Every structure is written in C-alpha cells, then in structure tokens.
Amino acid sequence: MASSLASSKQAELLKTWNKYRGVDLRSELAMSNSCVGFLGKKRTLSKHLSFADLTTPSGDIIQVCSNGEVQKDAHADFRQIPAFSPVIINTRVPNADEQGRDSSGKTTVYLDDIRALNSVPKELIVTSETVFPQTKRHLQIRFHPEIQARLEFRSWLKNVLHQGLMDKGFTDIETPTLFKSTPEGAREFLVPTRQRGTAYALTQSPQQYKQVLMASGISRYMQWARCYRDEDSRADRQPEFSQLDMEWAFAGAETVRQDVNDIIMKALTTLKPACYQDIRGGRIPMVRNIPVTEDSESKTAHQFTTLTFAECISSYGSDKPDLRIPGRIHAIKDIEPYQTFVGMITHLENPTIEAFSFRLNDVSPEESRQFVMSFMDNLPSELGENPEGKPQVLIFDSRKPLCGFSSIGFEYEPLIDHIAEGEDLNDGDLVIFQARETPNGQYCSGSTKIGDLRTALWKALIEQGYMPKPRNGDAGSLQFVWVTEFPMFKPTEENEPGQEGAAGIAASHHPFTAPLSEKDLEVLFTNPLDAKSAAYDLVLNGVEIGGGSVRNHIADVQDFIMRDVLQMADKRIADFAHLFEVLRAGCPPHAGFALGFDRLVALMTDTSTVRDVIAFPKTMKGEDAFVKSPSKITDAQLAPYGLQLRRSK
C-alpha cells in the first residue's frame, strides 16, 4: 500500500514537473521566437479570437493575439491558462487578415504555442483598486504599480549617486555590522555570542570605523551602509535602514556640502516633468521615462539653500524648515504698543511674540472662520493647551472694524504690514500669533510651538484646497536646505540614551562633532549649552534626509568633551580606546556626512513613509508582517549563549 502511494505521488510530481518545467531565457529565446512574462486578463472578441497583455521581465507590455482558426490547440491552452500566470509563448508571423485587423496601436505578437510555468491561486482577484495587506507583500510588490515604480527609481537613484562619488575619487569600503556597544546616542540592538557574558551591538552607523579609515590613508570613503537603531517607529523611520555614508580627509564643511550637492544635482537635473506619472495618489518619476542626458533647464525645480540653526528657528520655527511653505515667521520686536493684545494671548512676563500670515485661495472670511474653528478644535494638546499661551488666529475681513484686527488696536497696520512682508492681505487671509518664553542663552530645541503650528496649519489648508502645493517634479517641489551651526549640546531628555554622562546634557548630533570655532571651544569651559558645533544637516521639504559634521581629530579635545563636558564615566570612555589611539596616530582633519537614502527616495517619489520605498519593511511595531518576525525564542536557543528567559511573576 505504501509503495503504491509513493508510486502515485512520484507520477503526480513528475507530471507537475513536466507541466511547469522551468525555462532559461537565454537558450529559449535564442532558439525560437519566444516571449516570457506574466499573462494579463483576457479580452475575448469571439469564440476564435482573444487577446491578453503580457508583462515581460523588462517591464514592457505587449499584446498577445490568439487566433483559434490558425492555431486551434494553442488557442484552447490560451483560454484555459488563468490570468496572472507566468508563461512562455512561441510566436508566429501573422497572416494578411490578422495584419489588417490589428488597429490597437500596441506592440502585438501572434500566438503559436503557450505553456504556463506555474499555477496561481484560483481566488486571486486583481483590479486597479485592489489593495493587498502587508501579509501578502509579494502580491503588493507585483500588483501595486506604485511600489514597483518606487523600487525601480530607488535602484536608479542609487546608481547615479554611487557613480557621482566614484567620479570624485571615493573608495567604496565595507565596514563590519557586528560592532561593540558604545554610547553614541541611540538605543542599540545587541547580539549575544557563545562566549558567555559578551555581545556584539549592531552598528548604529559606521561612524567610528570611517574615522579610523581617515587615519589609515583613505582620503575619501563611501559605502551603502545598513544601520540599526532600536527606536520607536515613526513614518520616516525603520529599525534597520540604509544610508549613503561618506567621509573626507583634509576637508571641512564647505567641501562636504559641495560634493553632496553635486551628486544629488546630477540626479535632479536628469529629471524632467515629463518623467513623472500619477499612480494611486502619488506622482512618481518613472525610470523608463528618464532621459540618458542631464537637462540643465530643470534645475529651477530643485533649490539648495543654506541657513543657520538660529535662522531656521527664528524664521521657520523648526530646524527642519519646509521652504515650500510660503512666507516666514516674524518676531514682534516692540510689543509695548500692543500690551493689551499680548495680555490676551499669554500670561508670560517677558514673552517673545511671533506671527506669520497665510494668503488663501479666494476664501471668504466666513469660510475661513469655519475652517479655523474646526482646526483649533482638533489641535493636539501640546499646541492647543500650550501653557505659554494658545495660538491666536485673526482673519482679514474688510467689512469689519479695523479689517478684523480690532483686538490689536488702532496701531495694527504697521504690525500687519511687517508680518505680511509688505504684501496686501485679502478677505479670508489668516494672521497667526503665538507667545513663547524668551530663552536665556542659545535656543536648543528642534522647533518652537509656532513652527509646529505653522506646518500643521499649512497641511490642513492644502487638504482643504485653500492653499496650493507644487506637484512633485514641478518648480519648487523639492526644496533642499543645509542647516548649519547647531547647538553643540542640549539638555538630556527622558528615555533618551544620550552618552550616559553625568552632566545632564547630551551631544545634539554625536560626541565626535567638533566645536564650530575656537570661541565655541572656550565656551565649553563655562556654559556648554551656548556652544555651537561644526555640524550640518540636509533637509528636504521639512524632513531631515542627512547629517554630518567636522570631526574632532585632536585626541585631547575629544577626551575633554567626553570626560569634562559630558562627564562620562572612565569605563565608558575606555570603550573608545581604539578611537583615541587612532586620533593620536597622526589622524588628519576630517569631516563626514550620511545621507538617509530611504527618506530621500520616499520624498522624491511623493510618499510620506519610507515603508513605501523598502521591499520588505517593518511595521510601526518593528514587525515584518510577511515573514512574521521577530519570532519567539526558546530556552534551547538561548542556552548556548548562557541566557534564559526571565519568568513573569
């Protein structure tokens, strides 16, 4: 009985093998007029005539014509094979009637023979609106055209950036992923070893290795680095991500920024508006539409601006300014004439009052009022319940006394003219005020409440259709900003690993960043929170896509920052002994930069989440819904590492 079952199973497997046997593209296509690809849905014109699209491995779509009057058997097979099946077809020369009949304008081949290369689920239903869940990632990639388009663009962009660095003399060097635990600022993933009591840490970045390379005679280093940080997931973050990592010896910030600008512009100047296609709510550059040569005329669509951290905070309320948002924030330098109005919006004794204006698209004061009421009712608590004072939104209304600004007083005109930057306001336009505590010394936080409010209000107005936003690929759609002169340190925040020092402060970027100047080094002795660093970030449309700095190449300065400024423990400083040895071995001045490649691709392909540009992303919980990771671990798996699970009480 068992022998009979085995024999039956063998026969069935051999039958399936022969039915769906594989093909080698090179040998099959060289021997005959063959095509391979995925068969689309059939369009039946009559009993003997059917059509279907075939998506080839190169992404081209060709039309397959099956004529039962010419090839009866092949036509019967064609009609039986389910849509979305992988197939190989042999083609033939069309007869005179067929040539005269085809008016579709598509590239058409005529079926001589067809064979399916695998089965497909009978319950598979695909339409242009079908959305597959994350657990079916293979179907998402195959049938969601926007995902394929973004992945193809990611590959194209990676190649362009890589070639740009090769042309500048960079050396591509891979550094280890298994590193050691060091307090660089983010939470690490630990990898236990079979040497009991020891563990690797997955690299947060190749930061220390690339600094070592600078002392090793590698003058320009780059790599496409995989990085790992155990952070709470956000739309623009993943526990593992890709960055284009770079370091320059004998160079400073200007060289870094210019080289990064060059390689990015090499890609941008190739992209024309005609390259873009609207797919499922996103405007995505299609690789097949990108010309081989650059187009200098398209540079106006993509702009690079350089601002200091202080300028960003004062003018945009954020160290990640989005220059697509019109206008700027303006501080009211003399609040004395407006004390009554100031008293209405804050109880602070010495407030800084800031304001900005938005001009809307032919919106009546009544419509603006309804929108503002709804917007304010739905503000997040950190903005709507701000203890420094709630935001005050005034609406220009020519029918009202003082055009709707009576709460400011009769002296409103010069103030409104200052906020509106000299441009006339129209009915329905908005003027927004916000108070904040005047900082003592250097402002160290990444944004102000009015900056957060401005961004949220702009997005809400766009969604309502009250303000315009440039389409992806159009002029002004990609606004790059270099942000410089960051505070070197900031107060430590709860649940932030920082550098584990006892000083109550943490490096704003990382502890290897050099002071901006000799003056800032001197300030470290008296008030580190007032010192500026030689760090710089690259921001695109309000999102940080990269960061870097001039490094501490002098060992004594690095030791001073860790030991005296951050007050790190001797044991923790000892974790960097390898780096100090390198710095003392004639390490040249050097600077670096890391480009967050996932974020860059996401923004350039019109999506707010990096999950849309990663083939197999993690969820907001850090889980891979497709392969179902992370998985449960057992005592047997832990035993070789000398570990065991703590039992819950």
* Spatial separation of the C-alpha atoms in residues 266 and 259, rounded to whole Å: 11
pLDDT exceeds cutoff 70 at 469: yes
Q: How many CB atoms lie within 10 A of CB 340?
A: 10
Domain termination residue (choose one: 439, 469, 499): 469
CATH number at residue 621: 3.30.930.10
What are the tens digits of pLDDT across the range 579-606?
Answer: 999 999 999 999 999 999 999 999 999 9
309, burial (CB in 10 Å: exposed 0-12, middle 13-18, buried 19+): buried
pLDDT given for residue 116 in this prediction: 95
Q: Are residues 174 and 57 in the same domain?
A: no
Find the domain containing 104 and state its range: 16-116
pLDDT recorded at residue 233 = 61
**Using an 8 Å Cβ cutoff, are 395 and 359 in contact?**
no
In a shared domain, residues 344 and 286: no
Decide if 387 is inside a domain: yes
Of the chain, the percentage scoring pLDDT greater than 70 comes to: 94
Q: Count of alpha carbons within 13 Å of 561, Cβ hemisphere only?
A: 26
Residues 180 and 111 in one domain: no
pLDDT of residue 237: 79
Mean pLDDT across 539-547:
97
Q: What angle (nearest 5°) sits at the alpha carbon of residue 271, between those of residues 267 and 274?
A: 170
Average of per-residue pLDDT across 549-560: 96
Residues 429-456: tens digit of each pLDDT: 999 999 999 988 899 999 999 999 999 9
CA distance 89 to 408: 77
Residue 440 counted as domain residue: yes
pLDDT at 1 over 90: no
Domain boundary among 74, 90, 116: 116
- Give the count of domains, the chain: 3
Residue 68 shares a structural domain with residue 206: no
pLDDT band at 355 (very low <50, low <70, confident <90, very high): very high
d(CA 642, CA 158): 42
30: confidence class by pLDDT, cuts 50, 70, 90: low
DSSP assignment of 481-492: EEEE--BSEEE-
Enumerate the H helices of 348-493 as residue ranges: 365-377, 381-384, 412-419, 449-464
Same-domain status, 140 and 102: no
- 5 part of a folded domain: no
CA distance 423 to 483: 28
Q: What is the pLDDT of residues 482-515, one digit of tens each?
A: 999 999 999 987 766 666 778 889 999 989 999 9
Residue 621 to residue 632: CA distance in whole angstroms: 15
Arithmetic mean of pLDDT, 33-53 = 93
Distances (CA, A) of 579 to 208, 558, 585: 7, 10, 10
Q: Could you give the percent of the chain with pLDDT greater than 90?
A: 78
Q: Is the pLDDT of residue 300 over 60?
A: no
Contact predicate 435/345, CB 8 Å = yes
Query: So what's the pLDDT on residue 582?
Result: 95
DSSP assignment, residue 561? Answer: I
Mean residue pLDDT across the chain: 92
- Whether residues 429 and 381 share a domain: the answer is yes
Whole-model pTM? 0.91
Q: Are residues 105 and 146 part of one domain?
A: no
Q: Are residues 273 and 340 in the same domain?
A: no
Q: Quick one: pLDDT band at residue 166, thresholds 50, 70, 90?
A: very high
Same domain, 276 and 368: no
pLDDT band at 25 (very low <50, low <70, confident <90, very high): low
437 closest CA partner among 448, 424, 429, 428 = 448
pLDDT of residue 3: 74
Looking at the structure, tell me whether residues 332 and 446 fall in a common domain: yes
Mean pLDDT of 121-135: 90
Asked if residue 185 has pLDDT above 90, the reply is no
Mean pLDDT of 231-254: 88
